[in-house]
């Protein structure tokens, strides 16, 4: 039997891109998924596609109580929670003085606080159940800074730091905390504002399904090992 069969995940940002691909990949492995995002219409489309294995949750990761809403939806629909994938994120390209205060706050609130709130909602129940997996979708921008992405990079470094600290805090309680740090992925996010697919170079990027398979691989590791940071790139992208 597939070792993931029957397990339950909560994923943020399942209305698009990597989160949606991860929901599809986990359901294909026999898992059940509660998927959150703000755009309910898109979540409904995914629910129609995935059937009973997927529960859509309209939520905003910036709101602490919405982390609990997602986690509770997973537990009440499927009776348990084995996996949390904090994936929702936004990025605004441009120099630090070219961005508005609102854009900067939105990146920090979404990418940093929006990772912390669902984790705080999930951890107590995971400890009580004897363990679980938290797989944070960060970025190569959380490994090294790139020009025109200063605040985005800061928010992604924060996720990597959070994961490292949580690994120390939670490993002995049975929770594995991993980070996946992709380079460019061909999603709406990678398009950014005002770019055409050609300008963004989508053809040469990782596909969201590649990142989803990395999540599956992390979850399929033997219980005796863990991965801390998996930094992945398209074959076309320099490191
Ligand atoms: N694409 C890349 O090149 C790339 C590379 C490395 C890392 N990443 C990371 O991968 C993650 C997913 O990105 P993606 O490429 O899949 O982007 P995407 O296609 O734009 O999807 C982003 C998802 O995040 C959700 N989201 C954004 N703000 C939210 C909020 N406040 N509350 C709830 N959900 C929210 C969006 O849903 P709603 O808008 O419906 O709320 C959407 O489902 C991000 O953390 C990003 O930093 C992306």
Q: Is the CB of 19 under 6 A from ligand 1?
A: yes
Residue pLDDT, tens place only, 132-177: 999 999 999 999 998 899 999 999 999 999 999 999 999 999 999 9
Phi-psi map region of 72: left, alpha, beta (phi>0 left; psi -120 to 50 alpha): alpha
Q: Which residues belong to the active site?
A: 152
> From CA 34, how far away is CA 174, in angstroms rounded?
22
| Residue 108 confidence (pLDDT) above 70 | yes
Which of 33, 37, 200, 215 to probe ligand 1 with, by most ligand atoms within 8 A of CB?
A: 37
| Residue 101 confidence (pLDDT) above 70 | yes
**Phi/psi at 50 (5° precision):** -95, -10
Q: Is 32 exposed, middle or buried (0-12, 13-18, 19+ CB in 10 A)?
A: buried
Q: Is the CB of 189 under 6 A from ligand 1?
A: yes
Residue found under tokens 């994120």 = 89
CATH code for residues 8-232: 3.40.50.720
Question: Residue 191's pLDDT is what?
Answer: 81
> From CA 53, how far away is CA 14, in angstroms rounded?
14
| Residue 193 confidence (pLDDT) above 70 | no
The minimum-distance atom of ligand 1 relative to the CA of 140 is 6
Q: Which two tokens stand for residue 81?
A: 């929670």
């Amino acid at each position: 039997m597939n070792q993931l069969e029957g397990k339950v995940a909560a994923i943020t940002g399942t209305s698009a891109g990597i989160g949606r691909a991860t929901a599809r990949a986990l359901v294909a492995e026999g898992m059940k998924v509660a998927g959150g995002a703000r755009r309910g219409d898109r979540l409904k489309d995914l629910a129609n596609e995935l059937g009973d294995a997927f529960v859509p949750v309209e939520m905003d990761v910036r709101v602490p109580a919405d982390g609990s809403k997602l986690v509770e939806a997973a537990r009440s629909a499927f009776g348990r929670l084995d996996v949390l994938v904090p994936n929702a994120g936004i990025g605004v390209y441009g120099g630090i003085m070219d961005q508005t205060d609102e854009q900067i706050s939105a990146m920090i609130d979404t990418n940093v606080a929006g990772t912390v709130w669902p984790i705080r909602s999930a951890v107590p129940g995971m400890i009580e159940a004897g363990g679980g997996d938290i797989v944070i979708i960060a970025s190569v921008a959380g490994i090294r800074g790139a020009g025109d992405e200063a605040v985005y990079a800061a928010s992604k470094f924060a996720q990597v730091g959070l994961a490292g600290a949580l690994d120390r805090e939670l490993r002995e309680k049975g929770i594995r905390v991993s980070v996946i740090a992709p380079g460019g992925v061909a999603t709406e996010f990678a398009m950014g504002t005002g770019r055409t697919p050609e300008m963004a170079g989508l053809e040469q990027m990782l596909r969201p399904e590649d990142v989803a398979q990395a999540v599956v691989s992390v979850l399929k590791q033997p219980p005796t090992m863990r991965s801390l940071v998996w930094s992945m790139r398209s074959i076309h992208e320099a490191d």
